[in-house]
Amino acid sequence: MINIASEQTAELAVGVAGLTDYLKLLLEENPQLRKIWVVGEVSSTHNHRQGCFFTLQEPDGSAAVNCVVWRSQLPRLTTLPAAGEQVTVLGQIRLYPKRGSYQLTVWQVLPAGEGLQALRYRQLRSRLAAEGLFDAARKRPLPAYPQTLAVVTSVEAAAWGDIQRTLSQRSPGVRILLSPATVQGLQAPASVAAAIARVAQDGRADVLLLARGGGASEDLACFDDERVVLAIAQSPIPVITGIGHERDQSLADLVADVCAHTPTAAAEQVIPSLDDLYSEQVQYLQRLGQLLSSRLQTAQQQVRSLQSRLQRLQLDRQVVQRQRDLGWQRQQLTTLLTQRLQQAQYQHQLLQEKLAALDPAAVLKRGYALVKAEEQIVTHADQLPPGTSLEIQLSQGTVKATVTDNSPTS
- Give the per-residue pLDDT at 84: 76
How many Cβ atoms from other residues are within 10 Å of residue 158's Cβ? 14
In angstroms, the CA 37 to CA 306 distance is 96
Q: Sign of dihedral through CA atoms 14, 15, 18, 19?
A: positive
> What is residue 269's three-state secondary structure?
helix
pLDDT at 79: 86
Please give the order of strands across the beta sheet that includes 148-153.
175-180, 148-153, 207-212, 239-243, 258-260
Q: Are 252 and 241 in contact (CB under 8 A)?
A: yes
Per-residue pLDDT band at 75 (split at 50, 70, 90): very high
> What is the average pLDDT score of the chain?
85
CA 169 to chain centre: 36
Partners of 108 in beta bridges:
90
Q: What are the φ and ψ backbone dihedral angles of 106, each rounded to 5 degrees? A: -95, 135
- CA 250-256-258 angle, to 5 degrees, is 105
DSSP H helices, 154-235, are 158-170, 188-202, 226-233
Q: What is the pLDDT of residue 398?
A: 83
Residue 372's nearest CA partner among 395, 396, 388 is 388
pLDDT at 280: 78
Determine how β-strand 101-111 pairs with β-strand 86-96.
antiparallel
Distance in angstroms (rounded) separating the CA atoms of residues 276 and 239: 23
Confidence at residue 216, expressed as pLDDT on a 0 to 100 scale: 64
Q: How many CB atoms sit inside 10 A of residue 60's CB?
A: 7
Residue 139, classed as helix, strand or coil, is coil
Mapped to the 3 state alphabet, what secondary structure does 26-87 carry?
HHHCCHHHHCEEEEEEEEEEEEECCEEEEEEECCCCCCEEEEEEEHHHHHHCCCCCCCCCEE
Do residues 239 and 228 touch, judged by C-beta distance below 8 A?
A: no
Strand partners, 329: none
For the segment 333-344, the average pLDDT, to the nearest whole number, is 90
pLDDT score of 255: 94
Predicted local distance difference test score (pLDDT) of residue 37: 92
Residue 306 CA to residue 290 CA, distance in Å, equals 24
Question: What would the pLDDT profile of 187-233 be if each residue is shown by its tens digit?
Answer: 999 999 999 999 999 999 999 999 987 766 667 778 989 999 999 99
Q: Band of the pLDDT at 149, cuts 50, 70, 90?
A: very high
Nearest to 140 by CA among 258, 267, 268, 261: 258
Position 15 scores a pLDDT of 80
pLDDT digits (tens, 9 = 90+) for 284-300: 888 998 999 999 999 99
Q: In degrees to the nearest 10, what's the CA dihedral of 22, 25, 28, 33? A: -80
Count how many Cα atoms sit within 13 Å of the Cα of residue 397 in the half-sphere of its side chain: 2
Residue 5 CA: distances (Å) to CA of 13, 14, 18, 384: 12, 16, 22, 200
pLDDT, greater one: 279 or 349: 349
Alpha-carbon distance of 401 to 261, in angstroms, equals 141
What residues are paired with 312 via a beta bridge? none
The pLDDT score that the predictor gives to residue 4 is 54
DSSP-assigned letter for residue 178: E
Give the Cα separation of 384 and 193 in Å (integer).
136
User: What amino acid occupies position 168?
Assistant: S
Domains of the chain: 11-112 (2.40.50.140), 151-271 (3.40.50.2300), 363-402 (no CATH)
| Residue that wins the pLDDT comparison between 400 and 90 | 90
**Contact, 256 vs 232, CB < 8 A?**
yes
pTM metric for this prediction: 0.49
- Shortest CA distance to 384 belongs to which of 360, 363, 401? 401
Report pLDDT digits (tens) over 385-400.
887 887 877 777 888 8
**Using CA atoms, how far apart are residues 336 and 276, in angstroms rounded to an integer?**
83
Task: Give the pLDDT confidence of 2-60 residue by residue, as tens digits.
Answer: 555 556 566 678 788 888 888 888 888 888 888 999 988 888 899 999 999 999 988 77
Instruction: Work out the pLDDT band at 90, boundaries 50, 70, 90.
Output: very high
The whole-number pLDDT of residue 73 equals: 93
